[in-house]
């Protein structure tokens, strides 16, 4: 069947495209670089013609409050309208575990808007909420530097590899019918955020000090052990952080 991946050239989209093509599906990896722009609507009608499933893994190019809201609201409206016109049978969107608990952040309020638009759409849908990716832990550390120190909460986080995210999405896309529901996916282990970054630094030789600060914010949000971890019954990836670090060292 024809599957369109919005954000198909990004970290998750490119991995998902490989998996779906290996399974024999016709895959359109849609992004501005291929002439498909959800913000302007350019190329959407052509890309979605004959598509049975659309997977939206696109992200806002900015994490600032207003640009993120503009992106998810405008792109979401354009995409869902085009899907309804094209007769798409299943809209699958990648979102974030704990979005409704992180609304002190404008970025997560924008993600919440995206989810609300999907819920209100006539297109049958599944929202896959993922925990943070291993690939972004270094960015979290860089964004937490204060006076030369990396100040991080010791609240629990249960991150997962991008490969496991793509694999979980592929199962939903080709193996499940839309049920107008949310599915949570996460890594196999929960660890304190500060400890996770210390493990990364030990593996990469980063000498910056990591300071535990229970009051340190995460993109403007005060954390507790529920903020960045899934609820009951999540689908778990198999890749542990230590194994991912070892794979990177061998690459």
Measured in degrees and rounded to the nearest 5, phi and psi for residue 81 equal -65, -40
On whether the CB atoms of residues 196 and 228 are closer than 8 A, the answer is: no
Query: Between residues 75 and 219, which one has the greater pLDDT?
Result: 75
Distance, in Å, from the CA atom of 102 to the CA atom of 96, rounded to the nearest integer, reads 10
Q: Which of 207, 206, 196, 212 is nearest to 156 (CA)?
A: 196
Looking at every residue in the chain, the average pLDDT score rounds to 96
Distance, in Å, from the CA atom of 163 to the CA atom of 134, rounded to the nearest integer, reads 10
Q: Which residue has the tokens 């919005």?
A: 6
The kind and range of the H/E element at 49 are none
User: In the predicted model, is pLDDT for residue 219 greater than 90?
Assistant: no
Give residue 1's pLDDT: 94
Give residue 156's pLDDT: 98
Q: Which residue has the tokens 């080709």?
A: 174
Q: Which of 25, 28, 31, 93 is nearest to 56 (CA)?
A: 93
Query: What are the structure tokens assigned to 38, written together?
Result: 């959800």
Give residue 251's pLDDT: 76
Give residue 250's pLDDT: 85
The kind and range of the H/E element at 127 are strand 125-130
Distance, in Å, from the CA atom of 57 to the CA atom of 84, rounded to the nearest integer, reads 18
On whether the CB atoms of residues 161 and 237 are closer than 8 A, the answer is: yes
Distance, in Å, from the CA atom of 115 to the CA atom of 29, rounded to the nearest integer, reads 22
Distance, in Å, from the CA atom of 46 to the CA atom of 120, rounded to the nearest integer, reads 24
Q: Mean of the pLDDT values across residues 57-81?
A: 96
Report residue 156 CA to chain centroid gap.
18
Q: Mean of the pLDDT values across residues 240-248?
A: 96
Give residue 179's pLDDT: 86
Please write the tens of the pLDDT for every residue from 3-22: 999 999 999 999 999 999 99
Distance, in Å, from the CA atom of 226 to the CA atom of 100, rounded to the nearest integer, reads 11
Please write the tens of the pLDDT for every residue from 159-212: 999 999 999 999 999 998 998 999 999 999 999 999 999 999 999 999 999 999
């Amino acid at each position: 069947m024809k599957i369109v991946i919005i954000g198909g050239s990004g970290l998750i989209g490119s991995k998902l495209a490989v998996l779906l093509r290996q399974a024999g599906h016709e895959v359109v990896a849609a992004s501005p670089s291929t002439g498909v722009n959800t913000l302007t609507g350019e190329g959407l009608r052509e890309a979605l013609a004959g598509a049975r499933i659309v997977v939206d893994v696109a992200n806002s190019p900015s994490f600032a409050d207003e640009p993120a809201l503009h992106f998810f609201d405008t792109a979401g409206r354009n995409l869902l309208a085009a899907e309804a016109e094209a007769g798409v049978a299943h809209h699958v969107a990648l979102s974030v575990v704990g979005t409704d608990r992180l609304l002190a952040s404008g970025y997560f309020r924008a993600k919440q808007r995206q989810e609300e638009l999907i819920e209100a759409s006539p297109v049958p849908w599944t929202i896959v909420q993922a925990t943070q990716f291993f690939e972004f832990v270094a960015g979290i550390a860089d964004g937490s530097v204060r006076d030369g120190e990396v100040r991080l909460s010791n609240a629990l986080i249960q991150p997962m590899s991008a490969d496991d995210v793509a694999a979980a999405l592929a199962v939903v896309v080709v193996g499940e019918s839309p049920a107008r529901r949310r599915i949570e996916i996460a890594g196999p282990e929960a660890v304190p955020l500060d400890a996770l970054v210390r493990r990364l630094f030990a593996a990469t030789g980063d000498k910056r000090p990591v300071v535990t600060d229970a009051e340190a914010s995460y993109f403007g949000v005060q954390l507790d052990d529920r903020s960045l971890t899934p609820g009951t019954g999540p689908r778990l990836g198999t890749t542990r952080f230590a194994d991912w670090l070892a794979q990177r060292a061998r690459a």
